[in-house]
Structures are given as structure tokens and as C-alpha cells.
Amino acid sequence: MANIDNPRGFRAVRHLSGAIPPTRRYSIDSSNATAIFRGDLVKIEADGNIACAGAGDGTAVIGAVASCYDSNKKPVSYIPASTAGYADVWDDPDTIFAVQADGNTAREDIGATKDHVTASGNTLTGVSSHELDSDGSGQNQLKIIGKVDVPGNEWGTNAEVEVIIVEHHYRSTASI
């Protein structure tokens, strides 16, 4: 049975220690030209605010967005482009995320590093469309640690995989 092509961004599924993955609130300024959705990978900007992390742009990732808030700290489904707000981010470097691959992945990809693919999220649901870039090799943003163990998810095209962020803001990339 083929996997369904349904990108939903990055979702924390567990922590390497077995604890519940923690979140921390970050501010978003109105200078961002890109909307921020739940499940987007984000980075810290020079001014201390967060913005969407580029796909393989060499910038360390801080984590993935868990929830969004407007400038009054009221929950919203996403933060539109050029709008100030806040986001709770799973920012612990030992958080394990589930994400859909944009192409073919196999058991032999466990331990491989890959980048992610950015795409605009769904403005009705507020859910990200970021995916794992199944192509590429070398030192990249994410390390595949396994396949998400749910019925109907098989290795192959559009598989849901578990990853950790290796190019993390709180971790030296020299230890990858």
C-alpha cells in the first residue's frame, strides 16, 4: 500500500530521555516576509526573534513550531507574513520529530543526514507543509533515526520518518 502524500511539518513525538518534549516561547517580528505555521522549522535571527529556517541554508535550526500566538498572546492558527507574534517552539536538541519525506526513503537511510524542504503552509488549518528532503547526503540539518511506527506507514515514497536536528542552535555542528 502506498503512503499518502500529506505533509504536516515537524511534530515532536518524544525526547531521547523519555521525557515529554519541552517548548519555549519566542517572539516573531513583523520583518519576516514568510508566514510561520505549526510544524515549520525555525531559526534565531540576529535580533533574537525567530523566522522560518531555510532549506539547507547552513543556518542552525532552533526547533519546530508547536503553537502560534498573535501580538496579544492569543492563540492563532499561524502567523501571517510581515506580522508580529509569538510561537512556542520545541527547542530541545534531543527532541525527536516525525516528518514526511518528499520522496523515497528506505531502512538504509537510518543514520543519514538530510535537509528539509520548505513550502507555504495551509492558511485554513495553520499546519506546515515542510518535509524531509529525501535527496542529498553529507552533513545536513536532520538525521533519520527510524520510521514512524503507525499502521499504513511503510518505507518508500512519502514515508513518515523520525529525525533529530543535528544542525541545532544549541549544539555544535562540529559534533555531527
pLDDT tens digits, residue range 101-154? 999 999 999 999 999 999 899 999 999 999 999 987 666 899 999 999 999 999
Residue 176: pLDDT band by 50, 70, 90 thresholds? very low
Separation between Cα atoms, residue 128 and residue 71, nearest integer Å: 20
Residue 174 φ then ψ, to 5°: -70, -20
Picking from 139, 127, 125, 131, the residue whose alpha carbon sits closest to that of residue 158 is: 131
Q: What is the DSSP code (8-state) at residue 116?
A: E
pLDDT digits (tens, 9 = 90+) for 142-168: 999 999 999 999 999 999 999 999 999
Q: Where are the domains of the chain?
A: 11-171
Separation between Cα atoms, residue 49 and residue 51, nearest integer Å: 7
- Cα angle 54, 24, 84; round to 5: 60
Q: Residue 37 class from Cβ within 10 Å (0-12 exposed, 13-18 middle, 19+ buried)? A: buried
Residue 94 φ then ψ, to 5°: -100, 15
Please report the pLDDT score of residue 135 as a whole number. Answer: 86
Residue 172, pLDDT above cutoff 80: no
Residue 175, pLDDT above cutoff 80: no
Residue 22, pLDDT above cutoff 90: yes
Q: What is the DSSP code (8-state) at residue 138?
A: S
pLDDT digits (tens, 9 = 90+) for 28-78: 999 989 999 999 999 999 999 999 998 877 789 999 999 999 999 999 999
3-state DSSP: the chain helix, strand, coil percent, rounded to 5? Answer: 5, 40, 55
